[in-house]
Amino acid sequence: MVEIDGFFSFTIAILLLLSGKILTLNAEILRRYSVPEPVVGGLACAAFVSFLYFVLGREIRFTLDARDFLLLVFFAGIGLKSDVRTLRSGGSPLAILVLLAAGFLIVQNLAGMGMATIFGHDPRAGLMTGSISLTGGVGTTLAWAPFFVETLGIDNALELGVASNTVGLIAACLIGGPIATFLIRRHRIVTSGDIRLDIGAPHEEPAPKLDYFSVLWAMLGLNVAIILGLLIDRSIAAMEFTLPTFVSCLIAGIVVRNATPGIVNKSLHRHWPSIQQGLSLIGDIALGLFLTMALMSLQLWALSGFLGFILTVLALQILLTVAYTILVVFRAMGKDYEAAVIAASFGGISLGSTATAIANMTAVTQVHGAAHKAFVIVPLVGGFFIDLINAVVVSTMVGFS
């Protein structure tokens, strides 16, 4: 096994993200279907590493120390860009999306348990191919696996969960953009055309002009938000309550953005347009590198032992996600441009991760214009509410199965 240290792994991620960016700018088909830039380089690396493993018998592992911190930077930036007035205006859509996502948790688990029964496995093993690994992600999978192994006697629970999460993450990266493109064209939706993006810069527009102060102010704001977020995270942990650290940083960013003392607030807002540009640039890079590192580190050979069952159940889960997104989520969210952008994110929420959901939305808005409300609603649903609901749903279905 070859272990690549953190610095070189980070450098490889930068190179892969640059490659994805250049290919996306020069390949019209990638832009047409809004394929996220990190996916191009990240999956290419995962495929190459798998080739080395299967053909040459060499296993490559990347040290990913920087990956989790990049996620904190990204979500702190989302919080810093969230005006409380926008949060209030998103109340009803936020509640609707929470209910839609919660309902789909049950659909995922019933599908997983049904397919496990058909393949002759313990039906409860199907929960590891449902909302635990898909909506919950790797963290939730690792948290539940010991219970399934030690209490339920499902010895391969961890492998099932990790393999399902791997396939789901890849699928989530690939379906979001095409779904939004299909909906926009099918319903002849008028897009926003707003170049003031929450994350990233439009493909067809010149890069925003940045100066020394816009980047430095943004860096200071992000550091303050992350420090506050880590304090919030420790306080929550002290109450024996589990919440992802990036959610604490998102909350901290919102607090810093909206509760800054008046005199400082007035001074900041004098420069706020340039600070917003700095936050967008840093957030785009942080998200791109995070997703690139997540994809390049996928161990695709872990799927080989459960290939038939995994591919069958995940094909069903992906089809259900696409159908539910187009027929239910898009319609319930209003059938407008914001709804199409949220539809692009739903595959990330239900199959990959909140970061994947944001990456899908970013790819769509870079082509069609900003969707400000979506960038407030989706992180709160995917990063906060759905994790809490998922824990309740899984606990209940384990008890009844």
309-347: per-residue pLDDT in tens?
A: 888 999 999 999 999 999 999 999 999 999 999 999 998
Give the global pTM.
0.69
Specify the pLDDT at position 226. Answer: 95
CA 199/CA 191 separation, integer angstroms: 17
Looking at the predicted structure, is the pLDDT value of residue 158 above 90? no
Average pLDDT over residues 196-209: 56
CA 147/CA 143 separation, integer angstroms: 8
- The answer to whether 2 and 52 are in contact (CB under 8 A) is no
92-151: per-residue pLDDT in tens?
A: 888 899 999 999 999 999 999 999 999 888 898 899 999 988 988 766 776 677 788 888
Q: What is the 8-class DSSP label of residue 129?
A: G
Residue closest to 110 by CA, chosen among 92, 82, 138, 130: 130
131-140: per-residue pLDDT in tens?
A: 988 988 766 7
Of 9-23, 339-353, 360-374, which range is least confident?
A: 360-374
pLDDT band at 263 (very low <50, low <70, confident <90, very high): very low
Radius of gyration of the chain (CA): 21
Average pLDDT over residues 294-315: 78
* Domain range summary for the chain, segments of one domain joined by +: 67-400
Q: Which residue has the tokens 């993006």?
A: 197
Residue 4's SS3 state is: strand
Amino acid letter, residue 35: V
Which residues touch 274 (CB under 8 Å, ≥6 apart)?
210, 211, 213, 214, 217
Looking at the predicted structure, is the pLDDT value of residue 220 above 60? yes
